[in-house]
């Protein structure tokens, strides 16, 4: 369940409790975890390309070897995400894929 916050400042305020959006499901034992869901026939699996630099500008990435690898169905980048490229539940500060730059070691990079 996604609960919008009033502002980024409110979501990141120090010494202010911020319950996890699914905390009630975790403590009640009702949370569904990925490993609890049966895998359907034909399920695709993802492999991430991670940054080897803690802070880097992404000028370009050559995906030709990835596209040529056996079993590759698609290559997704930040440009393929409709809407906000973000999965941070409170502060909206956790990009799904790095877009244009990597800001931490092992960022999920894409141009």
pLDDT tens track, the chain, 111 positions:
445 545 666 666 677 777 777 888 889 999 888 888 999 999 998 888 887 877 888 888 889 999 999 999 999 888 888 888 887 777 777 787 877 776 665 555 544
Q: Is the backbone of residue 40 left (phi > 0), alpha (psi -120 to 50) or beta?
A: beta
Give the contacts of 57 (CB within 8 A, at least 6 positions apart).
Answer: 100, 101
**3-class DSSP state for residue 67?**
helix
Phi, psi of 98 (to 5 degrees): -65, 135
**What's the pTM value of the predicted model, to 2 decimals?**
0.57
């Amino acid at each position: 369940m996604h609960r919008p916050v009033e502002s980024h400042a409110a979501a990141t305020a120090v010494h202010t409790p911020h319950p996890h959006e699914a905390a009630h499901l975790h403590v009640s034992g009702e949370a569904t975890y990925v490993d609890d869901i049966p895998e359907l026939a034909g399920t695709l699996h993802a492999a991430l390309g991670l940054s080897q630099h803690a802070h880097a500008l992404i000028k370009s990435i050559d995906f030709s070897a990835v596209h040529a690898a056996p079993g590759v169905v698609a290559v997704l980048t930040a440009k393929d995400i409709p809407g906000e490229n973000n999965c941070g539940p409170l502060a909206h500060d956790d990009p799904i894929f790095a877009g244009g730059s990597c800001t931490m070691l092992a960022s999920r990079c894409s141009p």
